Amino acid sequence: MIGGVLAVNLAFVVAGYALLGRRRWHWSWAGLALLVGAGAVGTLVFFATIVGLHASLWVASLAAVVLVALGAFGPGNRLVLGQRPAARVGPLAGALFGLVTAVCLLGIVGGFRSSPWLDDAWGICLPKGLALWHHALDPQLFVQNGAFVTFGVPDYPLWWSVVSSLDVQAAGDVDVRVMCAQLALLTAGFVGATARLLWGYVRPSVLAAGLALLVLSPELWRHVQGGVADLPLALYLALGVLSGALWLKSRAPFHLVLAGFAFAVALQIKTEALPEVAALVLVGTLFARRLAWAGLALLAALPWLLWRWIEDVPSRAKLDFTRADRLPDAVRAVSEHLFDPTEWLVLVPAVIVLALLARRPKALLVPGALVAVVLVAYWIDRDEIGYVLATSAYRVIDPIVLSAAVLIPLLAESFLQQREPLREDRALVGEPRDDRRVVQQH
Amino acid sequence: MSARAAFAAVTVAVLAAAAVPWSDGPLRRLAGGEGDGPEPTFDVPLDPTPLQRAGARLPDYTRYETSAPDESPLVQGNLKAAAQLYLSRQLPVHDAPLVFGYRDGRITTSISP
């Protein structure tokens, strides 16, 4: 099982590096390469199933080859980043990076040794992926009918099912631990990608402390070991948020393209990604109108929406705004999970405090928009509110928390700059004009 | 102490702390504790071995049914999901001669004429 999952992820990394372009062929981009490769290959295979192909390793290999070819001659090689001054890493930052690395390594070990505790993971997501392998997207199995026993939540897109299925195929046997292993690798990749993208934009001690706060959150690794689809959704949404925030500083097309790509992948993971991406793009346009280009990602939702329309698969959510009495319970449950220090430490309070201290309250619109989407979803949902909150509120907040987590280092750096405006290392965090110098970045 | 030395020292210290065999702290839980097997963590007592064997032995597209009318919804849900997991080459239908049932944590198999 270990070799199979690692082989699949190695292919993801290769495809990711190809898409990132030669300028980023350096070990420090490996985390982002994994997220990009997994996102792109998983999405292509998912789209392939929509047109009748099977979600097999052969189809995935073909998708990877196409992506590598696209990367070799594609626009990734022309997407340059301004050079950031080399940051000096002190012993404290070094120790914190060591802590982050060790926790991620242990998290990966734990992922490979854990069977997902969430029954939706092994009972719905993975069986769907295995059916896509053997039967493709056969409406008999995926659309409710009188003859066949169909899968639950038929409106959910199938990226997580596809990726899990590829892992099982590579493992050679049905081993549900592949789901946690895959999530652990993606989560560690996300931490590495965040570090790489923020490097040079915030001082190393701030970056290391922000990452430590994230990886030490108990709920992060509990969700890894649960196999929950909300976590990869959160990883890609947060990657999009971070890329968009960095684009505001760099104005580098690479960051804007990466934001759009991450949002496009998020749309293939869960249905709530559609309003969440729309809300985030809307918030982005309040910062800079050109961030609306990231909204092109919404087009990536069309293949699945079209299939659902053709096969008459309705959304589970019904627009019933008459039951506003559900809102107080939803607000209470979501708040409890967001602010409970035994779940996500102080990630959410920290982003609020730092946004106010740094005089950047507008930044709170990002997690705020995601909170609004979650609350509206509970408002219009049909299921009994107590049940649905108890079974989902703890995990649908993942995108809120991770989006807050990637903003923390940027806000902390902004606050520190304001306090020490004459420091010599102000160049470290730079001004937008610094980034327009087109120099290769490693 | 240099940053590299601090990085290495903390990384090794944390990994070593998690490897201490008698510790039962958060680091050990992070590393998966005692570890799980390849089967799902079912919500009810359920040995999936008969389903695994059937999944390997039955031809592709064989139609089967799961039925546990006297059991709780949780048992019915776990039985259905386990069958869809291990019988992914076959086809689950509402009415088939081949029926997988459930009794006292065990999967039963019956074939009606």
**Predicted model pTM:** 0.92
Percent of chain A at pLDDT > 90 equals 78
A130–B contact, CB cutoff 8 A: yes
Q: Is residue A46 part of a domain?
A: yes
Measured CA to CA, the distance from residue A342 to residue A374 in angstroms comes to: 21
Place of tokens 């590495």: A192
Beta-carbon separation of B81 and A119 below 8 A: yes
Taking CA atoms, what residue in B is nearest to A108?
B31
Using CA atoms, how far residue A414 sits from A35, A232, A273, A430, B94, in Å, is 27, 28, 29, 11, 61
With CB atoms and an 8 Å threshold, state whether B3 touches A112: no
Contact criterion met (CB below 8 Å) for A16 and A33: yes
| Residue of chain A nearest B33, judged by CA positions | A110
Banded model confidence at residue A325, pLDDT cuts 50, 70, 90: confident
Q: Which residues of B touch A140 (CB under 8 A)?
A: 91
The ipTM estimated for the assembled molecules is 0.92
User: Which residues, including other chains, have CB under 8 Å from residue A424's CB and lie 6 or more apart?
Assistant: none
The range of the structural domain enclosing residue A328 comes to 2-81+94-422
Does A255 fall in a domain?
yes
Structure confidence at residue A87 (pLDDT)? 74
Cα separation, A48 vs A59, in Å, equals 8
Give the pLDDT of residue A83.
65
The whole-number pLDDT of residue A434 equals 43
Phi, psi of B92 (to 5 degrees): -85, 125
At residue A435, does pLDDT exceed 60? no
Residue A262 CA to residue A281 CA, distance in Å, equals 12
Q: A142 to chain B: which residues are within 8 Å by CB?
A: none
> Contact A392/A329 with Cβ under 8 angstroms?
no
Chain B positions touching A113 (Cβ under 8 A) are: 31-33, 35-36
Answer whether residue A201 is part of any domain: yes
Q: Does the beta carbon of B52 lie under 8 angstroms from any beta carbon of chain A?
A: yes
Q: Do B88 and A173 touch (CB under 8 A)?
A: no
In a domain, A86, yes or no: no
A141's CB contacts (< 8 A; 6+ apart) are A131, A135, A148, A150, A151, B91, B92
Nearest to A91 among B3, B37, B93 (CB): B3
How far off is chain A from B113, nearest CA to CA, in Å? 19
What is the percent of chain B with per-residue pLDDT over 70, rounded to a whole number? 96
Q: Hey, is the C-beta of A102 within 8 angstroms of any chain B C-beta?
A: yes
Structure tokens at A29: 């981009």
Q: Over the stretch A5-19, which tens digit does the pLDDT of each residue have?
A: 999 999 999 999 999
| Contact check, Cβ <8 Å, B88/A134 | yes
Q: How far is A109 from chain B (nearest CA, A)?
A: 5
What tens digit of pLDDT does each residue of A103-134 get?
999 999 999 999 999 999 999 999 999 999 99
Most confident of the ranges A78-92, A280-294, A397-411: A397-411
Task: Find the mean pLDDT for residues A208-225.
Answer: 96
- Check if the beta carbon of residue A125 is closer than 8 Å to that of residue A161: yes
Q: Do B91 and B61 contact (CB within 8 A), yes or no?
A: yes
Pairing of strands B63-66, B91-92: parallel
Which residue is it, tokens 């602010």? A339
Whether the CB of A341 is below 8 Å from some CB of chain B: the reply is no
Asked, for residue A67, whether it belongs to a domain, the answer is yes
CB contact under 8 A, B81 and A123: yes
Single out the residue of B85, B43, B76, B28 nearest to residue A178, CA to CA: B85
Residue A82 pLDDT greater than 50, yes or no: yes
Q: A46 near A102, Cβ under 8 Å?
A: no
Q: Torsions phi, psi of A16, nearest 5? A: -65, -45
CB distance B39–A90 less than 8 Å?
no
Task: Express each pLDDT in A132-175 by its tens digit.
Answer: 999 999 999 999 888 898 888 889 999 999 999 999 999 999 99
**Higher pLDDT, residue B35 or A238:** A238
Tally of structural domains, chain A: 1
Cβ of B77 within 8 Å of Cβ of A127? The answer is no
Q: How far is CA B67 from CA A299, B1, B72, B78, in A?
A: 42, 66, 11, 11
Distance of CA A35 to the CA centre of its chain: 8
Q: Which of A61, A9, A63, A7 is nearest to A35 (CA)?
A: A9
For residue A111, the chain B residues in CB contact (below 8 A) are 32
pLDDT score recorded for residue A431? 47
For residue A340, pLDDT over 70 is answered with yes
Residues A233-262 have pLDDT tens digits of 999 999 999 999 999 999 999 999 999 999
DSSP letter, residue B64? E
- Pick left, alpha or beta for residue B8 (phi over 0 → left; psi -120 to 50 → alpha; otherwise beta): alpha
Band of residue B27 on the pLDDT scale cut at 50, 70, 90: confident
Structural domain includes residue A327: yes
> For residue A429, is it within any domain?
no
pLDDT recorded at residue A86: 66
- Residue B41's contacts (CB-CB under 8 Å, 6 or more residues apart) are A115, A116, A117, A122
With an 8 Å Cβ cutoff, is A164 touching chain B?
no
Measured between CA atoms, how close is A182 to chain B, in angstroms? Answer: 14
Which two structure tokens, joined as six digits, stand for A127? 């069986």
- CA nearest A409: which of A246, A252, A293? A246
- Of residues A424 and A45, more confidently modeled: A45
Report the alpha-carbon distance of residue A381 to residue A388 in Å, rounded: 9
Each residue of A377-407: b (16+ CB within 10 Å) or e? bbbebeeebeebbeebbbbbbbbbbbbbbbb
Q: Identify the CA nearest to A11 among candidates A59, A73, A57, A64.
A: A64
- Residue labelled with tokens 């990452």: A211
pLDDT attached to residue A72: 81
Q: Considering only residues 209 to 228 of chain A, which have any Cβ-Cβ distance to chain B shorter than 8 Å?
A: 218, 221, 225
A172 touches chain B (CB under 8 A): no
Q: How far apart are CA B20 and CA B22, in angstroms?
A: 6
Question: Is residue A203 less than 8 Å (CB to CB) from chain B?
Answer: no
Instruction: Specify the pLDDT at position A424.
Output: 54
Q: What does the pLDDT read at residue B101?
A: 93
B100 touches chain A (CB under 8 A): no
Name the more confident of B95 and B1.
Answer: B95
Q: pLDDT band for A427, please (50, 70, 90 cuts).
A: low
User: Side chain identity at B42, as an amino acid letter?
Assistant: F
Residues 61-90 of B with CB under 8 A from A: 65-66, 77-78, 80-82, 84-86, 88-89
Q: Write out chain B residues lying below 8 Å of A175, CB-based.
A: 38
**Residue A381: closest CA among A319, A290, A310:** A319
How close A44 gets to chain B, by Cα (Å)? Answer: 22
Query: What whole-number distance in Å separates Cα of residue A49 and Cα of residue A136?
Result: 6
| Cross-chain residue pair A91–B89, CB shorter than 8 Å | no
Mean pLDDT of A60-74: 90
Can you tell me the distance from the alpha carbon of A216 to that of A99, in angstroms, rounded to the nearest whole number?
Answer: 9
